[in-house]
Amino acid sequence: MSKKSKNAAPASIAQNKKAYHDYFIEERFEAGLVLEGWEVKSLREGKIQLKEAYVLLKDGEAFLFGCHISPLLSASTHIHPDAIRTRKLLLHAEEISRLIGDVERKGYTLMPLSLYWKKGRAKLEIGLARGKKDYDKRAVEKERDWEREKARIVRH
């Protein structure tokens, strides 16, 4: 039997690479998810898509919209799964009040960045994000190409 080390990286379920392309991520938060049983089983199979997902704050609570969790074929017959239902996020009250202030006053957006397992529970990393313009995206791409070229030159 092998034990996992305490400092091991969390087991990733899904990444939202589009968020990093379209937004500057200013700050990150970890949130729990309120899930149903069939959703947890689907997450263990990796049947989730964060690409079109976003986070909204309503009535002092945070909700995840547009996240698609595909139901398994072996789901129970008495459950009618809704793949894109709205899921509640679990955050501390002071985090939510701070996020409400940043989103409403400063014009930030809340984007889901990644979903992972932590101590047997599904956690969602959300980012306080500011939108990129087209010229920002081109500059980032140009810088990435230059870094790749430098590494190539150094190797030879």
* pLDDT tens digits, one per residue of 67-108: 888 888 776 666 777 778 888 989 898 888 888 888 887 878
In contact, 34 and 43? CB cutoff 8 Å = no
Q: What is the CA radius of gyration of the chain?
A: 18
Residue 1: the pLDDT is 45
Which 8-state DSSP code applies to residue 66? S
Could you give the CA distance from residue 125 to residue 7 in angstroms, rounded to a whole number?
18
Residue 63: the pLDDT is 92
Residues of the chain with pLDDT under 50: 1-2
Residue 43: the pLDDT is 85
Residue 27: the pLDDT is 86
Cα 40 from chain centre: 16
Residue 24: the pLDDT is 82
Could you give the CA distance from residue 26 to residue 6 in angstroms, rounded to a whole number?
28
Residue at 47: amino acid letter: K
Helix (H, G, I), strand (E, B) or coil at 15: strand
